Amino acid sequence: MVRRRFGTVSWGLLAAMAATLAVSCQRASSTQAPSLYVTATGALLSPVTSVQDGQTLVFAPGGGAIQLVIGNTGDAELVLDQVELVHVNSQMDVQPNLAGISFPRRINAGEFQSTEATPLRMSVHFTPGSQPDDSATEIRLHTNDDTYLDGVFTMRFVPQEKVPELTVNPPNYTFLNATATQPDNQDFVLTNTGLAPLALAKVYFESGSKAYRFLGGEPNRDSRIDPVGTGSGKESVMVRVEYTPQNPPDEDNLVIEWDAVRDTGVTCSQNATCQNDTKLCGNSQVPCPYSCGNGRCMCLKDSDCQAWAAAEADAADYRCLTGVCRKPQKTRVRLKGDVKPGQLKVGYGDYLTGCIDFTEVTEPGSSCTKLVDLRAEGPGLVVLTKPQVTVPEGRTSPYSVEWYRLGATQSQECGPVTGTAISEPRYSLTEQNSPVKVAVTYTVTGSNDPNGQLVVSYNAPYAGEEKVPICAGFRKGELETAPPPRAVNVTMFAMPPTGKARKTVVLANRGNDVLHLQGFAVAPQNPGVDPEAFHLIDPPTGAALDLPPNGLLSLTVEFDGTVYEVTEETGVIVLNGFLHIDYQDPFSTGTLRETVNLIGWTNVKDVTLPTANPGTPANHAGATVGKTEILDGGASVGGTYGIPPQGGYLWFMDRKPATSKVFVNPGPGPAQVSFIPDVPGTYGFRLVVFSYDSDSRLAFFSDEATLEITVAP
């Protein structure tokens, strides 16, 4: 940009000159007089057009020099009798040395620019040191300008202004442990990490969600928080928030309005002083919000400030804070209320088979009824919708469903159920009235009867759905994945010295026909952005992709944490990815896809991971067909954090004899699980455990441990 010579004068300076000339003309009509005019340029935090008496000039971050020009915009000679250094900050320097300047100094009328002969040019230099000096350099000019008391003009120079800074810990929060009958609560600690005191204006929930409320009330207006380390006893304020689920996930923001502790700076003895102060109440068209109290002009109510600012679009944001009308700063804390599904426990007699098994019921016209237990395993309500059976689109369902209150019984396998039927479409389940019995009846219509699913919809209060497979006469392959992808992610910690980790995903055919697998793909969650850190090791191909009924196929996934450049400054890095499994389903055209979530952690410091211990083959010596075996991971070690006793153990089967129908894949649960071997041979199991940090709500997963059990006839 090319500047013209006369374009170097700022619009602000031209306005000041015009105002000064107007004053000069006014004086010329009576008595000529000098008019002190001080300009400041250079390392200022905020630009200044002209310096006013008593003004504090703030240096920009890092310091530097502020240049001063002391001039005269009056129509008479200005006499500068003395420049007095009242105080000089130890890290500032005033130049030139005043000892070398002769006083009084005379400044000609109308000369105020640095290029003119008589104005005095000075500068204040600030070089910040390792130990900050926050004091002000104060300069007084003694003149013959009688518009100032005794002709004295004062200005101050300070390092970058001390400002407050509100910090909230935790900065966001997700409630996970609340139920309809047992709310959860969390403390939010408000501290001041700045350099000046702050005051709270208002604390509230932004959307007004009824799921949240304050325990103990919100903080008082004008609650003061001093900077951390002052030792004043007012360095923090605690806000306790309670969450009761309404319609999870309940989301809202906790809003804290705050600003620096300030006052109007106007002393008074009566209201008129405040009402007539042009700085406070310069606009006569709006009501003045200030009145006299405790010797100071101050506002009293938010509504007064909002009426005073009514002409502004954001007038509703004005608050009366520490007696001053202003728009405070806002800090938002994201709140989310969620409830982990799993309070509903579903059980049935064919659990180890993996489906409600009607495959032995084959005579056309015959029927069989089997029971499914629905049990509440927590203090909150589980609101059930009457379960339904679904079958593939276009197929006729051979199934019917009834449900019964606590106490229903079945005298013989496949026989009728005796008990009190539930007639309502919805039922509130508690620990006390559990279990509800769901009776699924299969009536054979032919050899091509379809498999189905018993769908149990519920709200606990988080809306969830449990699906129980039903096996009938229609032949198909059905894919099941272990660990169950809807219940747990496959999480790998790439720890030293290798920086790599491996985990196993097992595919099982739970149907009664061959399952045709199409292939597998591993990818980061953000292709092209995240590095390719997940890999499949020797994925199966060819004939291995045809999985026979009850067959198992193991996939090995590796996470390579060395793809990241890790330095001392690098924090913990978490990468999300996917394992995609494509397969054919006879009920659908084309290819279906099952997706397993992968999570890789690297650069995890100061945490010892847990160690899984599934026991030894010797613990199962003498295992025989039909005899229950108890798998026990209780000897596992938690590391830095403890293993949750009811949910920190993840067992699954990865090997079994070819003709076995057993498959163990319960998802996260207690240390012990059981299985009943149905044919002789070798059964293989894997165990993963996780420890849990209740403060950060992070889970730390172990490597896999394996166990093989030899079963005799």
The predicted model scores a pTM of 0.42
Tell me the C-alpha distance between 162 and 459, whole Å: 52
Mean pLDDT of 470-489: 82
Mean pLDDT of 309-322: 91
Q: Does 396 map to a domain?
A: no
Asked if pLDDT for residue 380 goes beyond 80, the answer is no
- Among 105, 134, 158, the domain-final residue is 158
Q: Does 344 map to a domain?
A: no
- Encoded tokens for 332: 């938002």
Mean pLDDT of 229-240: 91
- Among 158, 192, 221, the domain-final residue is 158
34 with 130, same domain: the answer is: yes
Asked if pLDDT for residue 463 goes beyond 90, the answer is no
Mean pLDDT of 688-712: 93
Asked if pLDDT for residue 95 goes beyond 80, the answer is yes
48 with 127, same domain: the answer is: yes
108 with 237, same domain: the answer is: no
Q: Does 380 map to a domain?
A: no
Contact of 685 with 665, CB cutoff 8 Å: no
Q: What is the pLDDT of residue 10?
A: 30
DSSP conformation letters of 412-452: STB--EES-B--SSEEEE-STTPPEEEEEEEE---TTPPPE
| C-alpha neighbours within 13 Å on the C-beta side of residue 105 | 19
Phi then psi dihedrals of residue 13, to 5 deg: -70, -40
DSSP state of 619: G
| Cross-strand partners of 80 | 105, 143
**What are the distances in angstroms from CA 420 to CA 334, 409, 615?**
47, 10, 45
Mean model confidence pLDDT for the chain: 87
Q: Does 364 map to a domain?
A: no
Q: What is the pLDDT of residue 560?
A: 95
What is the share, in percent, of the chain residues with pLDDT greater than 90? Answer: 58
Asked if pLDDT for residue 186 goes beyond 70, the answer is yes
Asked if pLDDT for residue 642 goes beyond 80, the answer is yes
Tell me the C-alpha distance between 145 and 371, whole Å: 101
* Maximum mean pLDDT: which of 42-51, 83-92, 170-179, 558-567: 83-92
Confidence class of residue 334 from pLDDT cuts 50, 70 and 90?
A: very high
Counting runs of H as helices and runs of E as strands, what totals does the chain give?
A: 4, 49
146 with 28, same domain: the answer is: yes
656 lies in which domain range? 609-713
Mean pLDDT of 468-495: 85
Tell me the C-alpha distance between 83 and 86, whole Å: 9
| Cross-strand partners of 577 | 524, 598
619 with 596, same domain: the answer is: no
Asked if pLDDT for residue 372 goes beyond 80, the answer is yes
117 with 189, same domain: the answer is: no
Count of structural domains within the chain: 5
Q: What is the pLDDT of residue 476?
A: 67
Mean pLDDT of 218-241: 92
Q: Does 435 map to a domain?
A: no
594 with 638, same domain: the answer is: no
Q: Where are the alpha helices (DSSP H) in 148-301?
A: 271-275, 278-281
* Count of C-beta atoms within a 10 Å radius of residue 703: 16
Q: What is the pLDDT of residue 2?
A: 23
Q: Does 52 map to a domain?
A: yes
The domain spanning residue 39 has which CATH number?
Answer: 2.60.40.10
- Name the least confident of 133-137, 315-319, 378-382: 378-382
Asked if pLDDT for residue 646 goes beyond 90, the answer is no
**What are the distances in angstroms from CA 219 to CA 107, 206, 294?**
57, 16, 23
Cis, bond preceding 249 (omega within 30 deg of 0):
yes
Tell me the C-alpha distance between 401 and 419, whole Å: 14
Cβ contacts of 551 within 8 Å, gap of 6 or more = 508, 509, 515, 658
pLDDT digits (tens, 9 = 90+) for 8-55: 223 333 333 333 333 333 333 357 999 999 999 999 988 888 999 888
178 with 118, same domain: the answer is: no
681 with 702, same domain: the answer is: yes
Q: What is the pLDDT of residue 354?
A: 72
Cis, bond preceding 497 (omega within 30 deg of 0):
yes
Report the DSSP pairing between strands 463-471 and 356-357: parallel
More confident: 511 or 702 = 702
490 with 582, same domain: the answer is: yes
pLDDT digits (tens, 9 = 90+) for 341-354: 547 889 888 876 67
Asked if pLDDT for residue 534 goes beyond 50, the answer is yes
- Name the least confident of 176-185, 219-228, 577-586, 662-671: 176-185
pLDDT digits (tens, 9 = 90+) for 422-453: 999 989 888 888 999 999 999 998 777 888 89
152 with 278, same domain: the answer is: no
Phi then psi dihedrals of residue 273, to 5 deg: -60, -40
Asked if pLDDT for residue 223 goes beyond 90, the answer is yes
Please measure the distance between the N-terminal and C-terminal CA atoms of the chain and give it in whole angstroms. 94
Q: Does 494 map to a domain?
A: yes
Tell me the C-alpha distance between 308 and 296, whole Å: 19
Q: Does 643 map to a domain?
A: yes
88 with 108, same domain: the answer is: yes
Q: What is the pLDDT of residue 16?
A: 35
Q: Hey, is 564 helix, strand or coil? A: coil
